[in-house]
Amino acid sequence: MNLAFVTKSVFHKLITYIKLKNDVEFISRPFFEENIYHKGQLHKFFNQYELKRLYAYKLLLEDQDSLSYFTFNEKKEDDYKFVFYKGGYLKYHLYKDCQALNSNFKDYHIPYEVQERGKELVNTYRGWFKTMKFKEKFERGEIDNFHIVNKYNNLFRKTHNLDKLNIDYTIAKEVLQSGKEYIDKDYDVKMFEDKLEQIISYRNSLCQGETLKFLAKVNYLRDKHDLEIISKFKELHEEHPRLFSSDFIKNYGISNAKTFWNQHYSLKTRVSTMLEEYFRWTFQFHNMNFDKLQLEDFGLRCCKFCSNIQQIKEN
Please state the domain extents for the chain: 3-79+284-314, 105-175, 189-282
Instruction: Provide CB contacts within 8 A for 88, sequence distance 6+.
Output: 75, 76
Mean pLDDT of the region 203-230:
92
Mean pLDDT of the region 144-159:
94
pLDDT of residue 167: 82
Handedness of CA 165, 168, 172, 173 (dihedral sign): negative
Mean pLDDT of the region 1-27:
80
Q: Which residue has the higher pLDDT, 102 or 5?
A: 5
pLDDT of residue 101: 81
Indicate whether 182 pLDDT > 50. Answer: no
pTM: 0.74
pLDDT of residue 294: 80
pLDDT of residue 79: 85
Mean pLDDT of the chain: 88
pLDDT of residue 175: 62
pLDDT of residue 118: 93
Mean pLDDT of the region 28-39:
96
Provide the pLDDT confidence category of residue 253 given band limits of 50, 70 and 90: very high
pLDDT of residue 184: 53
Indicate whether 272 pLDDT > 50. Answer: yes
Instruction: Provide CB contacts within 8 A for 132, sequence distance 6+.
Output: 151
Indicate whether 34 pLDDT > 90. Answer: yes
pLDDT of residue 174: 67
SS (H, E, C) the chain: CCEEECCHHHHHHHHHHCCECCCCCCCCHHHHHHHCCCCHHHHHHCCHHHHHHHHHHHHHHHCHHHHHHECCCCCECCCCCECCCCCECCEEECCCCCHHHHCCEEEEECCHHHHHCCHHHHHHHHHHHHHCCHHHHHHCCCCCHHHHHHHHHHHHHHHCCCCCCCCCCCCEEEECCCCCCCCCCCCCHHHHHHHHHHHHHHHHHHCCCHHHHHHHCCHHHHHCCHHHHHHHHHHHHHHCCCCCCCCHHHHHCHHHHHHHHHHHHHHHHHHHHHHHHHHHHHCCHHHCCEEHHHHHHHCCEECHHHHHHHHHHHC
Q: Is 114 exposed, middle or buried (0-12, 13-18, 19+ CB in 10 A)?
A: buried
In this structure, of 14-23, 89-98, 156-165, 302-311, the range with the lowest mean pLDDT score is 14-23
Residue 202 vs residues 48, 216, 267: alpha-carbon distances, Å: 22, 13, 9
Mean pLDDT of the region 1-24:
79
Indicate whether 87 pLDDT > 80. Answer: no
pLDDT of residue 76: 72
How large a percentage of the chain has pLDDT more than 90? 56
